[in-house]
Amino acid sequence: LLFVQMRCIFACMNELAADEAYYRAWSTQLSWGYLDHPPMIAWLIAGSCALLGRSEFAVRLPAILLAGGTMQLAARAGGLIGISRQGQFRLQLVLFCFPILHVLGTIATPDTPAMFFVMLAMVAALQCLNSPARWRHWLLLGAAAGCAMHSKYTALLPLVAIFFYLLLHDPRRWYRSAVAGIVAGLLIAPLLYWNHQRDWLSFVFQFRHGTSADGRGWLINLADYIGAQLLVATPILAVLCVWLMIRLLRSSASPGQRMVSIASLGTLAFFALISLRYKVEGNWPVLAWIPAIILLASFLPTAGEQARRAARSGTILAAIASFVLMLPPALLDRVNPHTPLGQIGGWAHLARNIKSAVGDLPIICLRYQDASLFDLYLATDVPIRALRRPGDRLTQFDLMPISLPEGKFALVSDAPLEPGSRMTLLHGEDSIEVEVISATHHAVRVDELTIRGRFVAICRSARRDAATNGG
């Protein structure tokens, strides 16, 4: 309850980050799939905004409640692998200090529902191990797995580990695992059909995003991956969890502990292998860490004093990291301006400044993040959309039906625009050639050091035709 209350206060006091506004833009056009991710985050935001209106709190409330629910599910999973009631309370205290949960409960991203439903699937799987004759546990496992796949594609990794372990643990009950798999398959069938209709667009996009070469050596990528995970899970707790999971695989652990360990360690190992060739984002393996903390809590009552002392030190360090994440976003912007928390603030004021400068002209942005933020904070009937330059990646705005601007319009860019210059802009398979008439710079000060600014040009369309390369 304290965790939920703290996150609600943050949600009411701070503007949305760019990605949150992007997902909110999805929620205005509900679908069975989206280019970047499955649809769960958009569905949740749409339902919340329908009940509470158009606000930062409404966008973030589903993430806050699901992050709090993840803490409860973690305690339940701990009880199913033998953690006492007192141990479950200590587990929740550790999770309360864990920075991952504070991030997942602060920023509305697909990782939050994915974590919740993966934990729900893990609880159901542990119940299947303890009471295999009860069909409701297997049905719950299938339903949770389907919802997890509707949240984020990386949820497939721990889910595959869970299903395979259940199947190999007791092959005689293969038909129960099959029924759970059929339930999950029926739930994700609309998502698969949506992708099939669009030549598997979302799957191809995510595959290319996850296997894009950056020209760096494998050692640098691996070191970057390990360093990112030490920061995400905090160094002491991360090392303790990995050491424990490896130890559990080599010892006579309980079936529940072994299943949780395989699901968590297998996810981390998969991305470690991927990092040998490609760059792995720090949040991709985030689904592995909450189960790892559960295993750590189950181990500590029988561990030596040195391990318990290290766990206490790691929890204190995690609490400090979580406190830093609760600092004003402008302070975090000075530490790392590229983090979502550091980019919060100033955009509503900037959007109003730009709107007052361009009047009723349609507003076109060259960044999908800008279009998402301005569409939320202006709340105007004037169309606000994103077009892309040749070479820029596709976004969900390319799949949204819009009319390309005719005549004059305002173009918002993060780089200077020279009057008299021409450029080609793309939307899906359509293109438009525009000419810059005039250009100005608009900026607002968030605090003493942080300034948000964008270049705004008045443009006119010069020529419009179909793109020959299919966008």
pLDDT at residue 471 is higher than 60: no
Q: What is the pLDDT of residue 214?
A: 64
* 274 close to 206: Cβ distance less than 8 angstroms: no
Q: What is the pLDDT of residue 337?
A: 65
Q: What is the pLDDT of residue 235?
A: 94
pLDDT at residue 449 is higher than 90: no
φ and ψ of 76, to 5 deg:
-65, -45
Q: What is the mean pLDDT of residues 463-468?
A: 47
Residues 6+ apart with CB under 8 A from 212: 278, 279
Tell me which range, 46-50, 167-171, 252-256, 307-311, is most confidently predicted by mean pLDDT.
46-50
Tens-place pLDDT, residues 318-348: 999 988 887 777 677 766 666 777 778 889 9
| Closest C-alpha to 154, from 38, 293, 26 | 38
Q: What is the mean pLDDT of residues 173-186?
A: 93
* 113 close to 40: Cβ distance less than 8 angstroms: yes
CA 90/CA 42 separation, integer angstroms: 34
CA 280/CA 287 separation, integer angstroms: 14
Element (H, E) at 72: helix 56-80
Pair of tokens at residue 192: 């698969």
Element (H, E) at 436: strand 430-445
Q: Is the pLDDT higher at 449 or at 286?
A: 286
pLDDT at residue 469 is higher than 50: no
* 114 close to 333: Cβ distance less than 8 angstroms: no
Q: What is the mean pLDDT of residues 299-323?
A: 90
Strand ranges across the sheet with 451-466: 384-386, 363-365, 408-413, 451-466, 430-445, 422-427
Count of positions (residues) in the chain? 471
Q: What is the mean pLDDT of residues 368-389?
A: 87
Q: Is the pLDDT higher at 462 or at 276?
A: 276
Neighbours of 236 (CB within 10 A): 18
pLDDT bin (cut points 50, 70, 90) of residue 253 is confident
CA 354/CA 457 separation, integer angstroms: 10
Q: Considering Cα of 71, then 73, then 78, then 84, what sign does the dihedral take?
A: positive
* 4 close to 71: Cβ distance less than 8 angstroms: no
Neighbours of 390 (CB within 10 A): 12
CA 81/CA 439 separation, integer angstroms: 63
For a pLDDT cut of 90, what percent of the chain falls above it? 59
* 373 close to 17: Cβ distance less than 8 angstroms: no
| Closest C-alpha to 234, from 171, 168, 308, 319 | 319
Pair of tokens at residue 408: 């004059």
Q: Is the pLDDT higher at 248 or at 37?
A: 37
pLDDT at residue 241 is higher than 50: yes
pLDDT at residue 184 is higher than 60: yes
Q: Tell the burial category of 206 from Cβ atoms under 10 Å away from its Cβ (0-12, 13-18, 19+).
A: middle
| Mean of pLDDT over the chain | 89
| Closest C-alpha to 433, from 446, 422, 443 | 422
Which one-letter amino acid corresponds to residue 380?
A: T
CA 278/CA 288 separation, integer angstroms: 20
Tell me which range, 146-155, 216-225, 410-419, is most confidently predicted by mean pLDDT.
146-155
Pair of tokens at residue 315: 């929890």
User: Given the DSSP bridges, would you call strands 384-386 and 363-365 parallel, antiparallel or unpaired?
Assistant: parallel
pLDDT at residue 171 is higher than 80: yes
Residues 6+ apart with CB under 8 A from 464: 404, 430, 431, 432, 433
CA 276/CA 418 separation, integer angstroms: 42
CA 245/CA 247 separation, integer angstroms: 5
Q: What is the pLDDT of residue 400?
A: 87
Tens-place pLDDT, residues 268-303: 999 999 998 888 888 899 999 999 999 999 988 888
Q: What is the mean pLDDT of residues 369-373?
A: 93
pLDDT bin (cut points 50, 70, 90) of residue 467 is very low
Q: What is the pLDDT of residue 304?
A: 83
| Closest C-alpha to 33, from 171, 164, 205, 183 | 205
Q: What is the pLDDT of residue 263?
A: 95
Q: What is the mean pLDDT of residues 444-471?
A: 71
pLDDT at residue 104 is higher than 80: yes
pLDDT at residue 28 is higher than 70: yes
pLDDT at residue 195 is higher than 60: yes
pLDDT at residue 315 is higher than 50: yes
For a pLDDT cut of 70, what percent of the chain falls above it? 95
